Structure 1
Amino acid sequence: MNMQQQSGQSPMNFAQPPAFLSTKDFAYIEDMLSWNLEIIKKAHAYASMCQDQDVIQAMNRTCQLHIRHYQSILNHLGKHAQATQMAGGVMQ
């Protein structure tokens, strides 16, 4: 018998994000945004330094991928902020 069954808790549903974001959640999200932004900057810089078109294309694809990740994270935060405001709560 696992710990969740012993304690009577239901398993955590990873398909749905939590109803609120903790300070630790925000710190991790801030890190994710920073990591993606850093990769975007580096990929763009490396592409501008290269002569090989294959490398340039690879760096541009990397840049676009992380731009999409960055935007996805921001969109998620925006939806969370809207849901929190509509519920009359405050973002935590």
Structure 2
Amino acid sequence: MQQQGGQMPIVSPQPPDILTNKDLLYIQDMLSWNLDAIKKAHHFASVCQDRDVIQAMNRVCQLHIRHYQSILDHLGKHAQTVNQSGGVVS
């Protein structure tokens, strides 16, 4: 992939240690999507009669709980890193 003028884009070896407002909005969306999926899967498992479907919905629920927790864990690690380096967490 080339930019105008034939120069290659600069690729950072790791993401920056900052979160932009756009990043925060996307993270909020990811948490909302997972929470919505958890609620829907739980609801469908509670109203369904078929044991196979109930088990599938419970697995879906657990999957999204793990994703939700993973996002929170990642944010917690980021907050610890910022606090240890003397940065400001807003």
TM-score, normalised to structure 2, is: 0.88
User: Could you tell me whether the CA contact under 8 Å between 1:46 and 1:59 is conserved in 2?
Assistant: yes
* 2:65 paired with 1:67: yes
Compute the displacement of 1:32 (Å): 0.4
Q: CA deviation at 1:10?
A: 2.3
For 1:46, the equivalent position in structure 2 comes to 44
Q: How many residues align?
A: 89
Report the secondary structure of 1:83's partner residue. helix
Identity of aligned residues (%): 65
Q: Is residue 21–residue 91 contact of structure 1 (8 Å, CA) maintained in 2?
A: no
Runs of 4+ in structure 1 displaced over 3 angstroms?
Answer: none
Structure 2 unaligned regions, length at least 5: none
Please, what TM-score do these two structures have when normalized by structure 1?
Answer: 0.86
Distance in 2 of aligned mates of 1:17 and 1:68: 23
Which residue identity does 1:64 align to in structure 2? Q
- Between the aligned partners of 2:15 and 2:52, the Cα distance in structure 1 is 39
Aligned partner of 2:3 in structure 1 is 3
Contact 1:50–1:56 (CA under 8 A) maintained in structure 2: yes
- Report if the CA contact (8 A) 1:20-1:91 is conserved: no
Distance 2:84 2:50 in 1: 51
Amino acid at match of 1:84: V
Task: Report how far residue 18 of structure 1 moved.
Answer: 2.6
Q: Which structure ranks higher in relative contact order (CA pairs < 8 Å, sequence separation ≥ 6)?
A: 1
Q: Which amino acid aligns with 1:35?
A: W
2:87 counterpart SS class? coil
